[in-house]
Chains A and B, each alone.
Chain A
Amino acid sequence: MADLTIDWDYAARVSEGKLDLDWLHSWNHEVGEEIKPSRIGLTMKDIAVGRYGDIPEEAPMRTMAPRGGEREAVMPDMGYTLNKRADVWAENVMDLYEEAVSRQWSATRDIEWSEIPDIDPDLEHALCQVCTVLSEVEMIASDFPAKWMWQINHDYVEAKMFLATQIMDESRHTEVFRKRALAKGAGLGRSRAATEEFLKLILDADNYSEGSALMHLLGEGIVLSLFRAGELLSPSPVEKKIFRLCMQDEARHVAYGTMHLRYALANDPDREGEYHEYLDKGERILAALFTIPEVVEPLMILAAGGEEEAAALGGQAADMLQMRVIEEYLQRCDRAGIDRRSRIQIPGIIGGYDPAEHGVTSEAAMAQATN
Chain B
Amino acid sequence: MPEFPSGEWFDALAAQANDKADDLAEFGFSNIRLACRINGLPDGDRYFGLRVEGYDVISDGEIDPASWGADCTLEGPAQVWFEMVSNIRENGGADLSHTLNALSLPEIPLRIVSDDPMGRDLFFRYNQTLQEVFDLAAEVPTEMPVTTRPNS
Instruction: Verify A237–B96 contact, CB threshold 8 A.
Output: yes
A251 B106 Cβ-Cβ under 8 A: no
B125 & A231 in contact (Cβ 8 Å cutoff): no
**Chain A: interface residue total (CB-CB under 8 A):** 39
Task: Please classify the interface of chain B as helix (H, G, I), strand (E, B), loop, or mixed, using the class held by over half of its residues.
Answer: mixed
Assess whether A39 is interfacial by the CB under 8 Å rule: yes
> Main SS of chain A's interface residues?
helix
Most buried by B among A245, A247, A259: A247
Tell me whether B121 and A40 are in contact (CB under 8 A).
no
Q: Is the CB of B125 within 8 A of A248?
A: yes
A128 within 8 Å of B by Cβ? no
CB nearest neighbor in B for A102: B28
Q: Do the beta carbons of B101 and A231 come within 8 Å of each other?
A: yes
A18 CB–B CB distance under 8 Å? no
Closest beta carbon of chain B to A173's beta carbon, Å: 15
Q: Which of B102, B105, B124 makes the CB contact (< 8 A) with A251?
A: B124
| A332 neighbours in B (Cβ, 8 Å) | 117, 121
B26 shortest CB reach to chain A, Å: 9
The reply on B128 being an interface residue by CB < 8 A is: yes
Q: Categorize the interface residue count of chain B.
A: 20 to 34
The answer for the CA separation of A234 and B118 in the assembled complex, in Å, is 26
Q: Which of A104, A255, A324 contacts B125 (CB 8 A)?
A: A255
Establish whether residues B125 and A102, one from each chain, have CB atoms under 8 Å apart when the complex forms: no
Q: Does A331 lie at the interface of the complex (its beta carbon under 8 Å from any beta carbon of B)?
A: yes
The listed residue (B29, B99, B105) touching A99 by CB distance below 8 A is B29
Is A258 interfacial (CB-CB < 8 Å)?
Answer: yes
Q: Would you give the 0/1 interface string for A223-254, flagging 1 where the beta carbon is closer than 8 Å to chain B? A: 01000110110101100110011011011101
Which of chain A's residues have a CB closer than 8 A to the CB of B96? 234, 236-237, 240
Q: Contacts A247-B127, A255-B118 given; indicate if A104 touches B28 (C-beta within 8 A).
A: yes
A248 touching B128 by the CB < 8 A rule?
yes
CB-based A-B contact count at 8 angstroms: 82
Contact with A39, one of B53, B102, B117, B131 (Cβ below 8 angstroms): B53
A25 close to chain B: CB less than 8 A = no
Per-position 1/0 for A85-104, Cβ under 8 A of B: 00000001001001100111
Residue A75 at the chain B interface, CB threshold 8 Å: no
What 1/0 flags go to A332-368 for Cβ under 8 Å of B? 1011000000000000000000000000000000000
A328 adjacent to chain B (CB < 8 Å)? yes
Q: Find out whether the CB atom of B116 lies under 8 angstroms from the CB atom of A248.
A: no
Chain B positions 110 through 125: 1 when the CB is less than 8 Å from some CB of chain A, otherwise 0? 0000001110111011
Q: Indicate which residue in B27, B54, B117, B121 contacts A334 across the interface (CB closer than 8 Å).
A: B117
Subset of 22 A-B contacts with CB under 8 Å: A38-B54, A39-B54, A39-B56, A40-B29, A99-B28, A102-B29, A103-B28, A103-B29, A224-B121, A228-B105, A228-B124, A232-B106, A236-B96, A240-B96, A244-B127, A248-B127, A248-B128, A251-B121, A251-B125, A255-B121, A255-B125, A334-B117
Additional pairs, 18, CB under 8 Å, beyond known A38-B54, A228-B101: A99-B28, A99-B31, A104-B28, A105-B27, A228-B105, A228-B124, A247-B124, A248-B127, A251-B121, A251-B124, A252-B125, A255-B125, A258-B118, A324-B107, A331-B117, A332-B117, A332-B121, A335-B117
